[in-house]
Structure formats: structure tokens, C-alpha cells
């Protein structure tokens, strides 16, 4: 059998479970197949594609399949164990799923694409209706301490000023990135040459994106707001934190020079510092974070990192067990079918290939798997889009 070596212990077993999870439709081929075909299908799993059908395997079919596998002689023990794990994962609720995802961070190396895909799986909710019924975070025009109503404090001493209880009652909310009544703008802090994305990287969790720059390059505020923190802080080095009028906070780290002081009002595009390599940094770059109520979320869900422009004017934030998940409002999922490739999917939705790749953290040459879920954001709604699962 041409499969990966079977895992034996706790954490690795959980990882394989996730591989199975992300390959949810790998099992569909087994559904009605006679036992001999099942074994044949297992042979190709892990090597090339396995899927011949795209229906969802029900729990009942999965049980039947497991029963039939157990009658084989010799029984394919590895497959049976993996499928039992898969069966357990399918029954997990969202919080159990998040615990599972968290456990991935204990591993030495995890492929980012896999983590991303698991996140998409866990992110099946909310429905469009839930989003429409959710509250819209209003813009504060409290020019001294924006978002005070939301945060209840204005801390200029620590960038990490908030406890988890601040957002514990939140579920779904919409964050307007631009005030409809104002020309508030958005400015990419530096031109978007991304050297590291948000998420699990090199054995640690990366709470922002890294953007290439030269020392002394201008770093600009992303939105209008007020500087909450400006100073040296641990691995961030020289850091500026701006709180915006919708409650969003942005972090600009590893600066060479800080050009603003706490309390200073800044406009979108206004200078906050000069790029550098201070703090825990190898080579000059900007470490840029986006946070809401102290919880970092992926900036690539808000900004098109290929163009440096906003993906949309509204961001949907969903409180998860440990953070917020962010989606551009109007995004939906596409489930990859047999024979599909990235450029065909981009064409189908009328979106640029590089934007599709950026939104999903994929290279343009990435190989897709059947059943893999891609986030798609298109500006024009058309009838074929109804096939995609509705997301915010």
C-alpha cells in the first residue's frame, strides 16, 4: 500500500484525523463499493486522487462501510482506525473542533494549507441569515479615545491591554471598515510585498503579516484613528498601535523610528513611523496586525494582499472559542470538484486568480484536492453562485 506511515501516538493521530477531515469526500468513493474496490481505493489514497463521486457520505454509510471493512481478511487495520477517527471528528461540535485545531499547534511542523483548510471546515457557520441578523458595530466619533464605549478603557502603557472577558459575550458582528457618512479611506501601510502570512509558521503562531520594506521607508496608518500606544515593547521592538473609530486596532511593529505619540489623531495614510528591524526581527520588515477587542485576526480576510486594497467595506467577525474569525462580507465557499484547477475556479466566479490565491493562502501552482474548500469573494452576484455554500 502506498500510504503515509501509520501514526501511533496521540498528537500525530490527531493530525491524521485532520487530514481525513480535510479530505472529507475521499470517503465518498467507498460508499456503495464492494469490499475489493474499497481496498483498491485505499491503495491510491495518499498517492493520487481517489474520488470518483462527490456525494456526502452519511454517518450510516460510514458505519456500514466500517462494518464491511472489518469482515475482510486481513482487515485493513490502519484504514479502519483512521475512519473511526474520522467518524469521531465528524460528530464534533464547533468547540471540540477548535480544541482539535489548537492541538495542532503542539506539532513541530504543520502545513499551513492544512490548517487553513481545517479552519474553513470549522468556519461553516454562520449562515447569511445569521450575518444579516447580527449587529453592526457603529462608528465612534469620540475623537480623544475612539471605541471607549466598546473597550471601557484607554490604555497607553500596554499594547495587550484586554482580557478575554471583553469579547466573551460576542457571537457575530459586522464591522464597517469605512463610515458610510465619511470619506474615511484605507491605506496599505506599506506596499504589499508579503513575506509571511498570518497563522502557523515555522513552529509558532504568527499573529500578523510581514511586509517587506527598506529601513527608513514610510509606514502609514491603515485607517483614521487615534494612537493608543507608541513605544518599545518586547519582540515587537518599536511599536505603534492605532485604535480606529470602529473599534478595530492596528499594530505596526519593528519600526526604526516612531513618529507619533499616544493620543495623536491620525488619518488614513498618515505617517506613523519609519520601517526598520527593531525587536525580534531578522531583516527589515513591517509586522502588521489587525485586532478587535485584543484578538488578532487574519488581515488577508480584510485586505487584498495582491493589490493592497480592501476586499470590501464590511468585515464579519465571528467569535470562536479563543479568538475571532474574520470574513469579508459576501464571501462564500467553493468545494473543489474532480478535475478543477485554480484558474478555472477563478474564471467561474469572475475573480482574479491572484486574488483567489491570496484569499486562501495558496500559490498559483498549488494542487487542489477534491472536496477542498476555497473561500471565494466576488463583487457581482450571479445565478451559478447560488451553488456555493452561503457564508457571510
Q: Which residues bind to Zn ion, rule: CB under 5 A?
A: 210, 287
Sequence-distant (≥ 6) Cβ neighbours of residue 77 within 8 angstroms: none
Say if residues 308 and 192 touch (Cβ distance below 8 Å): yes
DSSP E strand boundaries for 145-245: 172-176, 194-196, 199-201, 204-206, 209-212, 218-220, 225-232, 238-244
* Smallest separation (angstroms) from Zn ion to the CB of 214: 17
Question: Which C-beta is closer to Zn ion: that of 286 or that of 368?
Answer: 286
Prior bond of 307 cis (ω within 30°): no
Q: Using CB positions, name the residue nearest to Zn ion.
A: 287
Question: Which C-beta is closer to Zn ion: that of 209 or that of 336?
Answer: 209
Question: Which C-beta is closer to Zn ion: that of 17 or that of 296?
Answer: 296
Residue showing cell 485532520: 18
* Smallest separation (angstroms) from Zn ion to the CB of 199: 11
Question: Which C-beta is closer to Zn ion: that of 210 or that of 304?
Answer: 210
Question: Which C-beta is closer to Zn ion: that of 141 or that of 280?
Answer: 280
C-alpha cell at 176: 464597517
Say if residues 31 and 9 touch (Cβ distance below 8 Å): no
Q: For the beta carbon of residue 232, count every other beta carbon within 10 angstroms.
A: 12
Residue showing cell 507619533: 260
5-36 in b/e form (b: 16+ CB < 10 A) is eebeeeeeebbbbbbbbbbbbbbbbbbebeee
* Smallest separation (angstroms) from Zn ion to the CB of 253: 7
Question: Which C-beta is closer to Zn ion: that of 98 or that of 194?
Answer: 194
Question: Which C-beta is closer to Zn ion: that of 117 or that of 210?
Answer: 210
Give dist(CA 296, CA 288) in Å, integer.
10
Sequence-distant (≥ 6) Cβ neighbours of residue 368 within 8 angstroms: 336, 340, 341, 342, 374
Burial classification of residue 168, based on how many CB atoms lie within 10 Å of its CB (0-12 exposed, 13-18 middle, 19 or more buried):
exposed
Q: For the beta carbon of residue 358, count every other beta carbon within 10 angstroms.
A: 21
Question: Which C-beta is closer to Zn ion: that of 163 or that of 235?
Answer: 235
Give dist(CA 243, CA 364) in Å, integer.
35
* CB-based contacts of 180-184 (< 8 A; 24+ apart in sequence): 184/223, 184/224, 184/245, 184/268
Residue 355 backbone phi and psi in degrees, to 5: -70, -40
Sequence-distant (≥ 6) Cβ neighbours of residue 89 within 8 angstroms: 17, 18, 20, 21, 97, 100
Question: Which C-beta is closer to Zn ion: that of 139 or that of 233?
Answer: 233
Question: Which C-beta is closer to Zn ion: that of 153 or that of 202?
Answer: 202
Amino acid at each position: 500500500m502506498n500510504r503515509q506511515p501509520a501514526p501511533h501516538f496521540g498528537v500525530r493521530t490527531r493530525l491524521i484525523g485532520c487530514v481525513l477531515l480535510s479530505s472529507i469526500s475521499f470517503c465518498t468513493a467507498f460508499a456503495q463499493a464492494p469490499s475489493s474496490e474499497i481496498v483498491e481505493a485505499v491503495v491510491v489514497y495518499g498517492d493520487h486522487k481517489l474520488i470518483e463521486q462527490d456525494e456526502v457520505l452519511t454517518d450510516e454509510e460510514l458505519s456500514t462501510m466500517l462494518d464491511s471493512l472489518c469482515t475482510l481478511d486481513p482487515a485493513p487495520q490502519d484504514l479502519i482506525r483512521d475512519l473511526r477517527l474520522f467518524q469521531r471528528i465528524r460528530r464534533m461540535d464547533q468547540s471540540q473542533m477548535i480544541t482539535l485545531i489548537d492541538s495542532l499547534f503542539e506539532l513541530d511542523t504543520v502545513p499551513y494549507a492544512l490548517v487553513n483548510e481545517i479552519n474553513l471546515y470549522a468556519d461553516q457557520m454562520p449562515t447569511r441569515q445569521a450575518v444579516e441578523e447580527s449587529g453592526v458595530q457603529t462608528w465612534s466619533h469620540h475623537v480623544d479615545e475612539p471605541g471607549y464605549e466598546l473597550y471601557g478603557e484607554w490604555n497607553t502603557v500596554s499594547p495587550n491591554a484586554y482580557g478575554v472577558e471583553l469579547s466573551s459575550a460576542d457571537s457575530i458582528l459586522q464591522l464597517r471598515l469605512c463610515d458610510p457618512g465619511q470619506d474615511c479611506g484605507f491605506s496599505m501601510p506599506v506596499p504589499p510585498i508579503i513575506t509571511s502570512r498570518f497563522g502557523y509558521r515555522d513552529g509558532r503562531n504568527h499573529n500578523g503579516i510581514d511586509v517587506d520594506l527598506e529601513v527608513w521607508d514610510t509606514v502609514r496608518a491603515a485607517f483614521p484613528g487615534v494612537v493608543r500606544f507608541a513605544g518599545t515593547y518586547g519582540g515587537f521592538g518599536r511599536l505603534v498601535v492605532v485604535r480606529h473609530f470602529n473599534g478595530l486596532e492596528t499594530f505596526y511593529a519593528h519600526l526604526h523610528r516612531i513618529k507619533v505619540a499616544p493620543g495623536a489623531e491620525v488619518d488614513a495614510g498618515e505617517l506613523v513611523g519609519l520601517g526598520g528591524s527593531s525587536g525580534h526581527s531578522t531583516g527589515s520588515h513591517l509586522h502588521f496586525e489587525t485586532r478587535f477587542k485584543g484578538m488578532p485576526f487574519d488581515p488577508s480576510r480584510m485586505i487584498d494582499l495582491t493589490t493592497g486594497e480592501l476586499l470590501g467595506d464590511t468585515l464579519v467577525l465571528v467569535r470562536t472559542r479563543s479568538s475571532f474569525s474574520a470574513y469579508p462580507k459576501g464571501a462564500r465557499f467553493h468545494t473543489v470538484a474532480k478535475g478543477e484547477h485554480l484558474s478555472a475556479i477563478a474564471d467561474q466566479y469572475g475573480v482574479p486568480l491572484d486574488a483567489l490565491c491570496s484569499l486562501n493562502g495558496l500559490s498559483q501552482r498549488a494542487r487542489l484536492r477534491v472536496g477542498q474548500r476555497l473561500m471565494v469573494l466576488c463583487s457581482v452576484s450571479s445565478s451559478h453562485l447560488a451553488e456555493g455554500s452561503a457564508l457571510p
